[in-house]
């Protein structure tokens, strides 16, 4: 973090990775909350643990432990491939324009200068190329194949979303992340004024407002809307959003109507009457592939259950217990000592 905590209130997006600011820095985290309320900033949390920061996040990515560098590699690859960098800053305040010696190499996971016997690197081959004037040679166009920018771009090109998805998690997490990304980029939210028999087109769907009537519930009285959803002139659903007033405490509550499907969920909420012609304010949400998020979560849970039910683990525990029962008093079997060391 290069700025003060208070400057976070001016951001449009916050990424928390490798920490739990909501608990570790509650006084600073209030500026994150402030940005989310005032600027509608999005909060992204990347953490294997479900923390209090993750609990209030717009997007939570539960990656596998130890895969954060792979995920960041994918982010770097995306930024460089899609030219999403701040060119002026990168050229003036980083070494991206510097040209590296032609002795620098990277092959099969190893950089040049690796001594296998010493298990250490001789970094002399990594240096910058010097000009006749004694200064480092630079390429302000960032096109030289050995400038730091191009070497960085080539190095991180291996971190594709598919490869990082396999590293960070199993298919369930990939499905979860895909669902989140699709929902965020394609979801539609629209507030409309609808009079009886009026039809409004939103996305690929048509919504016909058929009016509002009173409905009696077990402990409430509701004004219930009737909205017909059509696609290509064909009726696919009739939804009944409600404005409920509960008898006990006169509390008014909006009950949205939902039309779920594998490829798209449609939510409709009834607002307030508008004008004298029977018109109402109506809020429509269209969220494609939101079910993928739930399916991804289910598959992650299923994967955990399958892993926990692997008979190899039960045999391992049984063997450890048998070794413990047969070991002389005061002497612990090697397997148990190894497990304690791992803890």
Q: Tell me the per-residue pLDDT of 294-319, one tens digit each, with 9 for 90 and over.
A: 777 776 676 566 556 656 555 656 66
181 close to 291: Cβ distance less than 8 angstroms: no
**Predicted pLDDT at 304:** 61
Could you count the other beta carbons within 10 Å of the beta carbon of residue 36? 18
Q: Is residue 38 part of a domain?
A: no
Task: Give the whole-angstrom CA distance, residue 166 versus residue 74.
Answer: 12
pLDDT at 251: 81
Q: Which of 254, 275, 291 is the last residue of a domain?
A: 291
Instruction: Answer for the pair 52, 19: CB distance below 8 angstroms, yes or no.
Output: no
DSSP E strands: which ranges in the chain? 13-17, 42-46, 59-61, 106-107, 110-111, 114-115, 120-121, 188-194, 199-202, 205-216, 220-231, 234-239, 242-246, 252-255, 257-259, 264-274, 279-288
Closest CA to 316 of 339, 297, 300, 290: 339
Angstrom distance (rounded) from CA 195 to CA 193: 7
Verify that 287 and 197 share a domain, yes or no: yes
Tell whether 89 and 152 lie within a shared domain: yes
The structural domain count of the chain equals 3
pLDDT at 201: 94
Angle at 40 between CA 35 and CA 41, to 5 degrees: 60
Report angle CA 103, 128, 105 to the nearest 5 degrees. Answer: 30
Asked if residue 249 belongs to a domain, the reply is yes
Phi and psi torsions of 26, nearest 5°: -60, -35
Start-end of H helices in 189-282: none
Looking at residue 153, its pLDDT comes to 94
Q: Both 286 and 297 in a single domain?
A: no
Q: Is residue 172, in this structure, part of any structural domain at all?
A: no
144 lies in the same domain as 206: no
pLDDT of the residue at 210: 94
| Domain assignment present for 90 | yes
Query: In this predicted structure, what is the pLDDT of residue 339?
Result: 43
124 and 206 assigned to the same domain: no
Cα–Cα distances (Å) from 252 to 215, 221, 223, 249, in that order, read 14, 10, 11, 9
Residues 325 and 314 in one domain: yes
Q: Are strands 42-46 and 59-61 parallel, antiparallel or unpaired?
A: parallel
316 within a domain of the structure (yes/no): yes
Let me know if residue 146 belongs to a domain.
Answer: yes
My answer on whether 261 and 309 are in the same domain is no
What pLDDT is recorded for position 303? 59
Any domain includes 236: yes
- 209 and 282 both lie in a single domain: yes
Ranges of residues in the chain whose predicted pLDDT is under 70: 1-2, 162, 165-174, 299-300, 302-320, 323-343
Q: How high is the pLDDT of residue 174?
A: 67
224 is a domain residue: yes
Report the alpha-carbon distance of residue 284 to residue 273 in Å, rounded: 16
Q: What residue numbers bound the domain in which 138 lies?
A: 69-161
Query: 209 and 286: one domain?
Result: yes
Same-domain pairing of 248 and 157? no
Chosen domain end from 161, 196, 221: 161
| Same domain, yes or no: 101 and 129 | yes
Across the strands, what pairs with 224? 213, 242
Tokens for 36, please give them.
Answer: 């989310």
Could you tell me if 178 and 292 are in contact, meaning their C-beta atoms sit under 8 angstroms apart? yes
pLDDT score for 327: 56
Which of 254, 276, 291 is the last residue before a domain boundary? 291
Same domain (yes/no): 287, 299: no
Helices assigned H by DSSP within 119-266? 148-156, 161-168, 171-186
């Amino acid at each position: 973090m290069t700025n003060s905590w208070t400057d976070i209130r001016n951001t449009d997006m916050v990424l928390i990775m490798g920490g739990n600011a909501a608990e570790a820095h509650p006084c600073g985290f209030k500026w994150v909350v402030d940005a989310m309320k005032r600027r509608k900033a999005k909060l992204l949390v990347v953490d294997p643990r479900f923390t209090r920061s993750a609990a209030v996040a717009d997007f939570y990515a539960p990656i596998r432990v130890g895969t954060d560098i792979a995920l960041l590699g994918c982010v770097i690859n995306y930024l460089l491939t899609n030219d999403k960098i701040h060119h002026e800053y990168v050229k003036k305040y980083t070494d991206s324009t510097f040209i590296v010696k032609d002795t620098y190499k990277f092959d099969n996971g190893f950089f040049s200068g690796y001594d296998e016997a010493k298990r250490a690197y001789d970094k002399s081959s990594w240096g910058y190329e010097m000009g006749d004037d004694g200064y480092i040679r630079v390429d302000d166009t960032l096109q030289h194949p050995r400038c730091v920018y191009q070497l960085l771009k080539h190095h991180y090109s291996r971190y594709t979303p598919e490869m990082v998805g396999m590293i960070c998690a199993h298919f369930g997490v990939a499905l979860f992340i895909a669902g989140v990304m699709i929902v965020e980029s394609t979801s539609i939210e629209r507030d409309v004024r609808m009079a009886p028999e009026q039809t409004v087109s939103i996305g690929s769907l048509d919504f016909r407002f058929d009016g509002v009537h009173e409905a009696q519930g077990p402990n409430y009285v509701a004004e219930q809307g009737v909205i017909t959803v059509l696609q290509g002139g064909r009726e696919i659903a009739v939804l009944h959003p409600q404005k409920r007033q509960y008898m006990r405490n006169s509390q008014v509550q909006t009950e949205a109507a939902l039309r779920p499907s594998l490829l798209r969920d449609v939510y409709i909420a009834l607002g307030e009457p508008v004008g004298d012609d029977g018109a109402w304010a109506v809020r429509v949400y269209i969220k494609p592939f939101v079910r993928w998020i739930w399916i991804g979560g289910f598959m992650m849970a299923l994967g955990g259950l399958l892993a926990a039910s692997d008979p190899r683990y039960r045999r391992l525990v049984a063997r450890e217990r048998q070794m413990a029962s047969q070991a002389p008093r005061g002497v612990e079997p090697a397997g148990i000592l190894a497990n304690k060391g791992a803890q």
